[in-house]
Structure 1
Amino acid sequence: MVSTTYQVKGMTCGHCVSAVSSEVGAIAGVHDVQVDLASGQVTVSSEQPVAVEDIRAAVDEAGYDLVEA
C-alpha cells in the first residue's frame, strides 16, 4: 500500500471535500482518500503509486488546484 499526500488549493467547505474525495477516489487503484479541509491536504492510499497527472486531472475536474510540490 502506498500513501501520498498532496496540497490542494481552493477548498473551503464540506462540499469541496466531497467533490475532491469523489473524483480522486474514482482513479483506478485508489483505495482511500482523506481530505483535511483546514490544511488543504489530500492523502491518497493506493496499491501502486498513482501518477501525479492523474491526481491533478481529478482535482481539476472537481474544480480545485493541485499545488506543485
Structure 2
Amino acid sequence: IPISERLPEDESYILVSFENSTMPDIARYEENDEGGTFYPGDDEKSYSSYGFFVNAWMPLPEPYKGE
C-alpha cells in the first residue's frame, strides 16, 4: 500500500519497502502530534535517521500454525 494512499494503524508492526533500497523490512509505525514515523522493529531511531525512506507498506502475514 503506497504511503501516499494510506498509512498503517498507530503502533502497528508492518512490512515496509523503501524508495532507496530493494530489501524490505519489518517496521513499527507510530503517530504523534507532528505526524507518523516508521521505525526498524523496536529501534528508537527512525528509518529516515538512517537514510532510508519508506514508500509503501503491507500488513505482516499471519504466523504459521502447524496442524
Same fold (TM over 0.5): no
Instruction: Say which one has the larger Rg.
Output: 2
Bigger fraction of residues in helix: 1
Q: Which has the higher contact order (CA 8 A, sep 6+)?
A: 1
Bigger fraction of residues in strand: 2
Q: TM-score, normalised by structure 1?
A: 0.28
Q: TM-score, normalised by structure 2?
A: 0.28
